[in-house]
Structure 1
Amino acid sequence: MYLPSAFREDALDVQHDFIRAHPLGVLMTAGPGGLMANHIPCLLYPEGEHGVLRLHVARANPQLAELASGAECLVAFHGPQAYVTPSWYATKAETHKVVPTWNFVAVHVWGKPVIQDDPAWLRAQLEALTESQEKARVLPWRVADAPVDFIAAQMRAIVGVEIPIARIEGKWKASQNRTPADRQGVAQGLAEEGDAVMAGLVARRGGLG
């Protein structure tokens, strides 16, 4: 990932919190079958130097063969994003030497996948993934709520994957490379358009308070 120093985020806890808040990753492999990408929900565990991802894929998914080879894969996690118009920059009124851009947040991780086809491992992954999304609900759904034979049939159609993270990069592109006046204009413009999330990121990352 192209990482100008102004946008780089190397704090592992910040990267991990982002993945947990945006768990749907784009899982990418490159092998004899060509480039492949699938959108897969992932769980992050604070194990090893950089963490471990656990997920599952359909047994019928052709990407499974690439994952089973053990070759390095890439998982990209995406978060808030917003178009930035030059009209928000104070610099526009001064020089007109401005162009549009796009603000966004992303974390990329690399690692060699390990296939996990043990039913106990897979059941634990399914329960943990479900709980991560259901726990805040008034009446959370649990895997055990479904018939045993139904869940058993569903599990036979999927395979677990574990990816020990060998490398991780974070990019928080939130107008940090602009002047304070330009950053203020971007934050205000985004807020006026109803994008409180990116407006807040621009303010925090730009030191606007």
Structure 2
Amino acid sequence: MYIPAHFAAGPDAVQDLLTRPGAANLVTMTSRGLLATLLPFVYDPSVGEHGALHTHVARNNPQWSEPVIGEALMIIQGSDAYISPSWYASKAEHGRVVPTWNYSTAHVYGTLVVHDSPAWLAGQVRRLTDVNEAGLDHPWSVDDAPERYISGQLRAIVGLELGITRIESKTKLSQNRPAADIDGVVAGLCARGQSESAADVERAR
């Protein structure tokens, strides 16, 4: 990934991308070529030196059974947004402004391990559910569904663990703009209802 120094993600930004609820594209090189699947995940910092991303795929998805050539990659995408030059204070000053796109992302590389143990899968599904249900008024629990039904659902999936070897991360969030331009970006994003992107810009100041 091309990462100019002023857009390099700090440890807090990387941690936020790893731990916020979301999904990532798993990309693997195989003898069939590149395979990719968008998958919800949870981060487990206790695995290995750099932690691991835990997820699962449908058993019918061929990506889990195809031997991986080299490292596997999971691409985590944070908030992203179009940035209009009309939001910049510097537009009125000199007019030398152009549109851009703000985003944060992490390319997480590692070794892919397949887990077909019902116990591992049950734990992964519970953790994934708990992360995404947190904060809801009436959070759903795996225990809310009949045990036989959950057992059948677990038989239809396969667990995957990406043991992290390295992370390349970038936060392009208007850090290269003057303070007055950043104020305009935050106001513009809030006016468009993109409060998450606005909050990311504020944190990156």
| TM-score between the two structures when normalised by the length of structure 2 | 0.88
* Corresponding residue of 1:22: 21
Is 1:89 equivalent to 2:88 in the alignment?
A: yes
The match for 2:102 is 103
Structure 2 SS opposite 1:178: coil
SS of residue in 1 equivalent to 2:114: strand
CA distance in structure 2 between the partners assigned to 1:99 and 1:137 by the alignment: 40
Q: Which residue of 2 aligns with 1:187?
A: 186
Aligned counterpart, 2:139? 140
* Distance change >3 Å, CA 143–CA 107, structure 1 → 2: same
Q: Output the amino acid matched with 1:5.
A: A
Uncovered stretches (5+) of structure 1, i.e. residues with no partner:
none
Cα separation, partners in 2 of 1:204 and 1:145, compared to 1, 3 Å = closer
CA deviations on 1:7-48 (whole Å, 9 max, x unpaired) are 11131x432232221331111112222222211011101123
Query: Match of 1:136, SS?
Result: coil
Kindly tell me: are residues 81 and 135 of structure 1, through their superposed partners in 2, closer, same or farther at Cα, counting changes over 3 Å? closer
Amino acid aligned to 2:42: L
Segment of structure 1 superposing worse, 141-150 or 42-51 = 141-150
1:195 CA drift (Å): 2.5
Equivalent position amino acid for 1:8 in 2? A
Gaps of 5+ in 2: none
**Alpha-carbon offset, residue 159 of structure 1:** 0.8
Instruction: Determine helix, strand or coil for the equivalent of 2:98.
Output: coil
In the TM superposition, residue 191 of structure 1 has moved relative to its aligned partner by 2.7
SS, match of residue 36 in structure 1: strand
Structure 1 counterpart of 2:126: 127
Identity among equivalent pairs (%): 45
Q: Does 1:2 align with 2:2?
A: yes
- 1:56-111 per-residue CA deviation (whole Å, 9 max, x = no partner) reads 11111021123x44741111111211111112223323332221100111122011
- Residues 71 and 113, structure 1, Cα contact 8 Å, conserved in 2: no
> CA contact under 8 A between 1:22 and 1:78: conserved in structure 2?
no
Aligned twin of 2:71: 72
Distance 1:71 1:118, change over 3 A: farther
Residue 141 and residue 187 in structure 1: after superposition, are their counterparts in 2 closer, same or farther (change >3 A)?
closer
Match of 1:149 in 2: 148
Question: In the alignment, is the contact (CA less than 8 A) between 1:50 and 1:168 conserved in 2?
Answer: no
Whether the aligned pair in 2 keeps the contact of 1:106 and 1:172 (CA below 8 Å) is yes
Q: Following the alignment from structure 1 to structure 2, what is the Cα–Cα distance between the partners of residues 27 and 45?
A: 17
Distance (Å, rounded) in 2 between the aligned partners of 1:200 and 1:154: 37
Asked if structure 2 preserves the Cα contact closer than 8 Å seen for 1:116 and 1:122, the reply is: yes
Q: CA RMSD in A?
A: 2.0
Structure 1 stretches (4+) deviating beyond 4 angstroms?
none
Report SS of the residue matched to 2:105. Answer: strand
